[in-house]
Amino acid sequence: MSDDYPTNNDRAAWAAAAAEVFGGFSGQNDPDYLIEPVAVAEIVGDLICDLLHFVEAAGGDPTTVLFNGLGHFEHEAAEEAAEQLEADSRYLAFGYFGGDSWDLLVCDSLRSARQEFANRTAGTNAEAVMLLYRSLGPEAEPTPADDPFAPAAYVLTTTAEGIRVDRQ
């Protein structure tokens, strides 16, 4: 994530600050309410409940807000998990760049693979494709999945608009 984009740890810190302020109003101001998992669940549950009362009083639908919030949480958690997986991955790339054969490359990231693809296809009208297979960890051997016919993690292709990246 970029430096100006909040992480889930940032969001958790904001929520802890809100829970601490809420605890001052609700009488749940014991320091355990921000440390112990059972106490955290209690104060956060009470805060969510009171936020839903606020939504209803303002004319909103608490159920919709609750499901939207859960959807945001799941999206942000998945996004950060995917970024961490990407950071821990290397890729074995098979690329066809309009020649007579496929080239084999090792790329440290999706970004470096995309740059290599752009460099090799720049100034040509040839149809090109690159298949990227994820290999976890910086020390991992750059080999595709045990099944050589397993789908690639990403497929890069040339289009009239530029390079298209499809996640498989």
State the DSSP H helix or E strand holding residue 119, giving kind and residue range, or none if neither: helix 110-121
Q: Are 129 and 101 in contact, with CB atoms under 8 Å apart?
A: no
pLDDT tens for each residue of 37-93? 888 889 999 999 999 999 999 999 999 999 999 988 888 888 887 676 556 566 667
Among 15-29, 41-55, 130-144, top mean pLDDT goes to 41-55
Q: Is the pLDDT of residue 147 over 60?
A: no
pLDDT class of 160 with cuts at 50, 70, 90: low
User: What's the chain's average pLDDT?
Assistant: 76
Q: How many DSSP H helices and E strands does the chain contain?
A: 4, 5
What pLDDT is attached to residue 34? 78
Please count the other Cβ atoms lying within 10 Å of the Cβ belonging to residue 168.
11
pLDDT class of 152 with cuts at 50, 70, 90: low
State the DSSP H helix or E strand holding residue 94, giving kind and residue range, or none if neither: strand 89-96
Q: pTM of the prediction? A: 0.52
